[in-house]
Amino acid sequence: MTQTSSSPPPARKPVRWFRWFLFLLFIGAAIWLWRSWFMVPEVPERAVLVLDLLDGVAERSKTQLADYLFGGGEEDLVSISRALHRAEGDPRVKGLLLRVGAPEIGFGRVEELRAMLGRFKEKGRFVVSVLESPDTLGYFLAAAADTIYLERVSELSLVGLELQAYFIGESLRRYGIEADMLRVGEYKGAFEELTGSSASSKLKEALEANIEALYKTLIEAIAAARKLPEDRVRALIDSGPFSSERALKEGLVDQLVYRDEIPGLITARCGGAAAEELSVGDYVKRTSSFREGQIGLVHVQGLLVDRQGSGIHWLGRLAGADRVREALRAAREDSKIKAVIVRIDSPGGTLSAAEAIWREIRLTHDQKPVVASMGETAASGGYYIAAAADRALAHGGTITGSIGIFGGKLVVEDLLKEKKVAVETVSRGAHAEMEGFHRKFSEEERKVLEGLLKEGYQLFVQRVAEGRKKSFEEAERAAQGRVWTGREAMALGLIDGLGGLDESLKSACGLAGIDPAEAGEPVIFPPEKGLLELLSAGEENSRMLRLAGARSEGGILAIKPSEVLKSLEALGLTNGRHRLALLPLVFKVR
C-alpha cells in the first residue's frame, strides 16, 4: 500500500495592482516628506506677490494628488485671502502684481477680489495690474489696482455687461422631448427655460432690473478708480472695444508695456531695489498662521442634491447635503470653534437637500453663531439655506433671491413614437406611473404635483420669514421666484449687509465675542484631503483616467448618454419626483 502525501497549495501571490499601490504609496510619502522637511524656502527679504487670474479663480479648489506631491495647483479665494492677510503685516512684501485677461469669473467673485485688493492697498502696499486682452469683468477687476499696464498691440474689450438665459423648450421638442413642468412663482425662470422659446414679460422685467443694478455698480467703480465722471465712463463703454493706443489716450490705462519690461517697472515701484516675484500660492506655503483659528468655514458649492454621489455630471459641481451636513456637524462639535461661516456659491437644487442643510445650520445656530457669506451666486435653494443663519452678507453683484420652486419631468413620448418604440406598462396604484418619462402627467397627477409644489413654496417663504424676522406677507413680496442682486436684496431686507469673506469673519467674531485680531485664520471643514486619502481614492482616480482616455475618433471627449441621464436624475428632471428650488440653468453675467 502506497502512502501518498498531499503538498500544501502554493501561497497566493499578491495582486499586481496592490504591489503597485504600495510602491506608489512609499514613493509618494517619500516625496512628501522630502518637500515638507527640505523644500520649503524662506520668503525673500524683498518680495512682490504675483496673482495670476488669467483663467479665473475658484471659490475653493479641489486638492489633487499631483498638487500634493509636486506643489502648484489652483489658487482659490481662501488661499488668496490668507496670503493677502499675512502679507499685510509682513515687511518683506512690498506689493502685488495682478495678471488679468478675460477670466471665467462672475461679477460677485470679482467684487470679492476687488475688496481684498483694496484692503491690501490700505496697508501701504502697491498693486499693479497687467492686462492681457481683457474683457469687461477683467478690466473691472484690474481697476482695483493703483496702476494699470496694458500689453502693447492688445485690445481692451470694455463693452458692457450681458446677462444670458437660454430657452431650450423649442429645441427639446424638435428632438421629441418635452418638459412637462409646473411652477410656483411667476418669475421662476428655470421653468421657462425648459418649456419656452423666449422670456415672459415678468422674467424680462427681472433680468432688466438685474443688469441695470450690476451695470450701475460697474460704472461707479470704474469712475472712482480712474477719476472720471460717470457719464464719461458710460460714453466710453458705449464706444468700445479699444485698441491699446486708444485705451491709453482715453485714460483707461496708465502705460503700454511689453512683457519683458514688467520686471523693470516692478523694480521702480520698489524704490529701485530688485524684488523677487513670488506667487500667492507659494507665499501661503512659505508662511503659516501663528494662531489656532476659532472660526469655522464650511463651503456649499454647486447644485444642491441629496447625496454627493459619484460620476461625471454635466450640470457642474454638486453639493451633496450629506457632505455639507457632516462638515457643519464637525464644526459644531469642535470646542475650539466659536462661530461658523457658511460660504455659499450655489444656484440651488432640490428642495429636500436645501431643507436638510437648513436644518443642520439651525442645529449649529443653537450652539454657536452662524454667518452666511454669499459668493457669486446664492439663489433659490442657495438662499434657502442662507436664511437659516444669524446674519447674511453678500456683495452688491451677488445673484440671490429667486424664492420659488418648480417641478416636473422631461417626457420623450414623441421621440419614442418617432423611433417606433412601444411602451407597455402594468401597474397598481392610481399614480404608480407618475414618474415615467414615456408620457406626460395626467390631469389628476398634475393636481397632485401642483399641491406638492404649493406646499414647498409655502415652506420656502416661511423659512425666509422666520430667518429674516418678517411676516409671511413681507417675505412673499420678495418671493415669486424673482432674482435679485445683492444690493437689491439689501434694500428688501433679505440680507444684513454687503461684504465678502473678510466682513463675514468680522461679523462672526462680533457675534461670538471674539477680537478679530485674535481669531486666527478660518478653519475649513472638511479639511483638505491628506496624502493617504488622495492615494486611496482609487475609484475616483481610475474613473478620471477612464474619462481622459474616452475619446472618439475625432478627438472629442465621448460622454455616455447614461452620464447625462445621471445628471438629470440627480435633480429629479427625469421622474418628476423632486421639488426644485433652482435658479435658471444658465444665468451668466459677462
Distance, in Å, from the CA atom of 54 to the CA atom of 294, rounded to the nearest integer, reads: 34
Instruction: Place 572 in a pLDDT band, splitting at 50, 70 and 90.
Output: low
Strand runs (DSSP E) across 2-55, as ranges?
Answer: 47-53
pLDDT in tens, 89-125: 899 999 999 999 988 888 999 999 999 999 999 999 9
Structure-block grid coordinates of residue 277 = 516675484
| Stretch (H or E) spanning 572 | none
Distance, in Å, from the CA atom of 580 to the CA atom of 406, rounded to the nearest integer, reads: 5
Contact 133, 157 (CB under 8 A): yes
Omega prior to 526 cis, within 30 of 0: yes
Burial class (CB in 10 A: 0-12, 13-18, 19+), 233: buried
pLDDT in tens, 245-290: 999 999 999 999 999 999 999 999 998 888 889 999 889 888 876 5
Tell me whether residue 262 is in a domain: yes
As a whole number, mean pLDDT of residues 381-403 equals 95
Distance, in Å, from the CA atom of 272 to the CA atom of 269, rounded to the nearest integer, reads: 7
229 — phi, psi (to 5°)? -65, 145
How much is the pLDDT for 339?
97
The DSSP line for 365-424 is HTTS-EEEEEEEEEETHHHHHHTTSSEEEE-TT-EEE---EEEEEEE-HHHHHHTT----
Tell me whether residue 134 is in a domain: yes
Contact 121, 146 (CB under 8 A): yes
As a whole number, mean pLDDT of residues 560-585 equals 54
Picking from 333, 322, 389, the residue whose alpha carbon sits closest to that of residue 358 is 389
Distance, in Å, from the CA atom of 375 to the CA atom of 494, rounded to the nearest integer, reads: 15
Strand partners, 31: none
pTM beyond 0.95: no
How much is the pLDDT for 587?
52
The DSSP line for 518-551 is GS-SPEEESPPP-HHHHHH-HHHHHHHHHHHH-B
Contact 48, 273 (CB under 8 A): no
Q: What percent of the chain has pLDDT over 90?
A: 48
Is the pLDDT at 67 greater than 50? The verdict is no
Contact 465, 472 (CB under 8 A): yes
Q: Which residue has the higher pLDDT, 554 or 330?
A: 330
- Return the sign of the alpha-carbon dihedral for residues 81, 82, 85, 86: negative
As a whole number, mean pLDDT of residues 214-237 equals 96
Is the pLDDT at 16 greater than 60? The verdict is yes
Instruction: Place 28 in a pLDDT band, splitting at 50, 70 and 90.
Output: low
pLDDT in tens, 341-366: 999 999 888 899 999 999 999 999 99
The whole-chain average pLDDT of the chain stands at 82
Tell me whether residue 128 is in a domain: yes
Omega prior to 241 cis, within 30 of 0: yes
Tell me whether residue 72 is in a domain: yes
Tell me whether residue 496 is in a domain: no
Q: Which residue has the higher pLDDT, 183 or 309?
A: 183
Picking from 344, 457, 332, 461, the residue whose alpha carbon sits closest to that of residue 393 is 344
Range name among 47-56, 426-435, 463-472, 548-557 with the lowest pLDDT average: 548-557
pLDDT in tens, 485-534: 999 999 999 999 999 999 999 999 999 999 988 888 899 998 765 444 44
- Pick from 127-131, 540-544, 586-590 the range whose average pLDDT is largest: 127-131
Strand runs (DSSP E) across 101-145, as ranges?
Answer: 126-131
Q: Where are the alpha helices (DSSP H) in 229-365?
A: 230-238, 244-249, 262-269, 280-286, 321-333, 351-365
| Number of domain units in the chain | 1
As a whole number, mean pLDDT of residues 173-191 equals 82
Is the pLDDT at 443 greater than 80? The verdict is yes
C-alpha 503 chain-centroid distance:
19
Strand partners, 372: 342, 392
C-alpha 186 chain-centroid distance:
27
- Pick from 58-67, 366-375, 544-553 the range whose average pLDDT is largest: 366-375
Contact 185, 480 (CB under 8 A): yes
Q: What percent of the chain has pLDDT over 70?
A: 79
How much is the pLDDT for 343?
96
How much is the pLDDT for 415?
77
Helix, strand, or coil (residue 313): coil
- Amino acid sitting at position 62: K
| CATH number of residue 57's parent domain | 3.90.226.10
How much is the pLDDT for 517?
84
**3-state helix, strand and coil shares in percent for the chain, rounded to the nearest 5:** 45, 20, 35
Instruction: Place 563 in a pLDDT band, splitting at 50, 70 and 90.
Output: very low
How much is the pLDDT for 414?
83
Distance, in Å, from the CA atom of 58 to the CA atom of 67, rounded to the nearest integer, reads: 15
How much is the pLDDT for 74?
58
Tell me whether residue 353 is in a domain: no
How much is the pLDDT for 238?
96
Structure-block grid coordinates of residue 414 = 414623441
Tell me whether residue 97 is in a domain: yes
Tell me whether residue 381 is in a domain: no
Strand partners, 183: 406
Residue 80, domain extent: 42-159+240-286
